[in-house]
Amino acid sequence: MEKIIISFRGFYNIEDSSAQTFDEAMLSVLVNLLPSIMEVHWAGSLRWLQLLITRFLPLDKNYSIAHKCVTLVQQIATEVSNRVNPYHLLLATRLCIS
């Protein structure tokens, strides 16, 4: 990831329209990659993904990254609300609360 970010600087010095095509391709890949963010195991990987997203965020004219992020937050909220809290169950048992 670091090599990709570093190579951007040299790539944009070239007077060519392929830079815009590359940006669009990277943006498309990042949008398609966002739903699988739950499978990331390492904080460093998540950090580099965040850096790439931050780099290409200004190019996202139709807010597809924002829509995917909102969907992810909704999925996380649903998962958290569906989880059973063992401390809540313990208190409910001890205090006879259902």
* Model pLDDT, residue 2: 61
What is the count of structural domains for the chain? 1
Instruction: Please give the average pLDDT of every successive group of 10 residues along the chain, which has 98 residues.
Output: 60 61 85 87 88 87 91 89 82 80
* Model pLDDT, residue 68: 92
Q: Which domain holds residue 80?
A: 2-94
User: Nearest CA to 26 among 72, 57, 63?
Assistant: 57
* Cα end-to-end distance, the chain, whole Å: 50
* Model pLDDT, residue 73: 92
- Give me the torsion for CA of 56, 60, 63, 67, rounded to 10°: -40
